[in-house]
Structure 1
Amino acid sequence: MAATPTREVARRVFASEFNDASYTFKESDDERAPVYVLLPTGERANRVFLVGTLTETEDVGEDSEYWQGRVVDPNGDTFFMYAGQYQPDAASMLRELEPPAYVAVVGKPRTYETDDGEVNVSVRPESISQVDEATRDRWVVETAQRTLDRIQAFDDEDGAEMDEYVQMASEQYDLPVENYRRAAVGALESLEGEQRDAPEA
């Protein structure tokens, strides 16, 4: 009896790392096998969970509705998401929401190579829901912790014992993971600044 496929864990990631995650791969030749993006901190992601400020929505479709949404994280970095006829619930939310609004999004990473060879990374949302500031704040703290944990594991790996995804990331990306440590710390600091009602820098 075939095993029931389980849904992949949705990874928490800040936009700066997500937008750098341009390498995709499958782990089997099955055409229905999940496609993963490789996070530069050494973890695979088939689904992501993000919370931030929806700052803009636009119907960019030509023949039918195709909604683009921009969600900004505490560092000011942007997640782009696109929803059309195959994501009717998400498209409906993007049509109805009035920016700015805090939103929680679960979706699948998608990559697209432009004519000049750049790889753009976006989210195809499975669900979008409006949330409150406390939910956004919890996501920031949890995402910072997960990011720092991944960086710690990345830094701790050595040659023979290296985790396969850490090894893959070190081969595929020439990106200092220190960038993502700064993003995690910066997000936490921005949260503390908001909680002190300090003016934004």
Structure 2
Amino acid sequence: MSAEIPSREVARRAFAGEFNDASYTFRESDDERAPIYLLLPTGERANRVFVVGTLTEKENIGEESEYWRGRVVDPTGTFFAYAGQYQPEAAATLREIEPPAYVAIVGKPRTYEPEDGDGVLVSIQPESVSVVDAATRDRWVVETAERTLDRIEAFDAETNEYAAMAEERYDLPVETYRDKVIAALESLEEGDAEPEPEIEA
């Protein structure tokens, strides 16, 4: 039966403004193969994420082999995605795309503590990168706004263990993210302040 087949973790939607505030990762068992989750400040665990935005720049920062860094902007901030030899398809796609372009990324959140000790940086290790159109980007903004609001509304529920964990780990008022949702939706109404990809005639 299909129910017995292990399924992949759901790819969570989150705006950059929330994703970049997340810094705490955890496993739910002692098994070394157990999934690593990033704790979102609105009270959700994320082993995979789904983001859409404008690829504004890309750079091959590898020394001995290709290692691509992509800068992806949504209405609330910036995601950074890194793909190298262990993500060959994503790396090849990043190599070929000419910014600016709308892209959809599904991947794993990764945290990194820089040597200067200045906080924790969060990035995405892409499983897939694809070019999308403006309508897809707009739909992602609306659906991500809905998911974020759902998490905010459920934050104070006594049974919400991940919200309790977020409240303990992060000194961040959850209402902050309602403001980011409003800003994201308003950016659509204003016709978007992000750079528009050029369409060749």
Q: Percent sequence identity over matched residues?
A: 74
- d(CA) in 1 for partners of 2:176, 2:107: 24
Q: How far is 1:56 from its partner?
A: 0.5
Shift of 1:194: 0.6
| Runs of at least 5 residues in structure 2 that lack an aligned partner in the other structure | 194-201
Q: Does 1:18 align with 2:19?
A: yes
1:194 aligns with 2:188: no
Count of equivalent residues: 189
- For residues 139 and 184 of structure 1, what CA distance do their matches in structure 2 show? 12
Q: What do residues 45-72 of structure 1 show as CA deviations (whole Å, max 9, x unaligned)? A: 0000000000000000111100000000
Query: 1:116 deviation in Å?
Result: 2.6
Partner of 1:88: 88
Query: What pairs up with 1:169-184 in 2 under 5 angstroms?
Result: 169-184=166-181
Aligned partner of 1:55 in structure 2 is 56
Cα distance between partner residues in 2 of 1:162 and 1:120: 30
Q: Aligned partner of 2:55: which letter?
A: L
Per-residue CA distance 1:157-192 (angstroms, 9 max, x = gap): 2xxx24110110000000111221111110000001
Q: Which has the higher helix share?
A: 1
Work out which of the residue numbers 141, 163, 168 in structure 2 matches 1:166: 163
Corresponding position of 2:149: 148
User: Over the residues paired in the alignment, what is the CA RMSD in angstroms?
Assistant: 1.3
TM (normalized to structure 1)? 0.91
The residue that corresponds to 1:28 in the other structure is 29
One-letter amino acid of the structure 2 residue matched with residue 173 of structure 1: Y
State the TM-score, normalizing by the size of structure 2.
Answer: 0.91
- In the alignment, structure 1 residue 40 sits paired with structure 2 residue 41: yes
Map of 1:129 onto structure 2 = 130
Hey, what's the Cα distance between the residues in 1 that align with 2:186 and 2:162?
29
